[in-house]
Structure 1
């Protein structure tokens, strides 16, 4: 009976440890994706587009997708999306205060869609980067953003 009780305690301990480990991975991934989204949204630069764009949506989901959608005053909608697992590198091209953040993927992994465009047909294609207008972003924040995306990649690959 003592052996049975000891084995039962060991099994319960292992199960509890596995549950905590599984939960911690999900929690860490959520923290990383929310950090990525918070950084992108807080440095988003609306000024160059204010005349044409009514509003935008910039989301990073806990399933690993980065989605950027712009709604123009003319009714046109542009949509860009890619999975963070496909992230390759980032680049920042600009002056000290404003510029564009380019998120590059390993291949043509960025979904590009436009619709409701009165001047052209709807577009549904693929690209190898996503460009986001940003302002007042520092070099340390760019490095941290890249690191957080890479860490999220590892966690996303471990979940599959």
Structure 2
């Protein structure tokens, strides 16, 4: 009877642990988001746009958003954002030393906001793509990024 009780306790604890672990798992796209975030940060080209970029924020969220905010030396701020539900394809224009990763959406799904522009007022608009300046990136890494973007888009749709 003691062996049965001990076996029953072990089984109950194992089942309880399995239930708790199932609720603490990654979000559906967390692995891809972490990979993409790291790759884009590693290869971001701050010297793009004539070296006028003061700082930038580039975030790939677990909820499926890609957000890019660029702060310029003259005080201008550009903000781009889209949801991977609307992701269509990516292109890369440039060489392995320097270029732009162009993320295309299905329609006018990229939010574009400009603040403190010396040429005019603040602007809110929509676009069909978002460009991120990159440097020192190999074709294999671009292919991996494309696969991760596609996986994120598919997992969000589920």
Normalising by structure 1, we get a TM-score of: 0.81
Distance 1:23 1:147, change over 3 A: farther
Unaligned runs of 5+ residues in structure 1 are: 1-8
Question: 1:6 is matched with which residue?
Answer: none
Deviations 1:62-86 (A, max 9, x none): 1111011111111111000001121
Deviations 1:80-130 (A, max 9, x none): 000112111110111231111100011110000001112211110000000
Counting only pairs closer than 5 Å after superposition, residues 29-44 of structure 1 correspond to structure 2 as: 29-44=29-44
Deviations 1:117-151 (A, max 9, x none): 12211110000000011011111111111111121
Matched, 1:80 2:109: no
Question: 2:69 is matched with which residue?
Answer: 69
Question: 1:91 is matched with which residue?
Answer: 91
Normalising by structure 2, we get a TM-score of: 0.82
**Cα deviation, residue 37, structure 1:** 0.8
Are the counterparts in 2 of residues 52 and 73 from structure 1 also a CA contact under 8 Å?
yes
**Cα deviation, residue 22, structure 1:** 5.8
Counting only pairs closer than 5 Å after superposition, residues 115-154 of structure 1 correspond to structure 2 as: 115-154=115-154
Are the counterparts in 2 of residues 78 and 114 from structure 1 also a CA contact under 8 Å?
yes
Unaligned runs of 5+ residues in structure 2 are: 1-10
Counting only pairs closer than 5 Å after superposition, residues 10-49 of structure 1 correspond to structure 2 as: 23-24=24-25, 26=27, 28-49=28-49
Could you tell me how far apart the structure 1 residues matched to 2:70 and 2:98 are?
19
Aligned length: 148
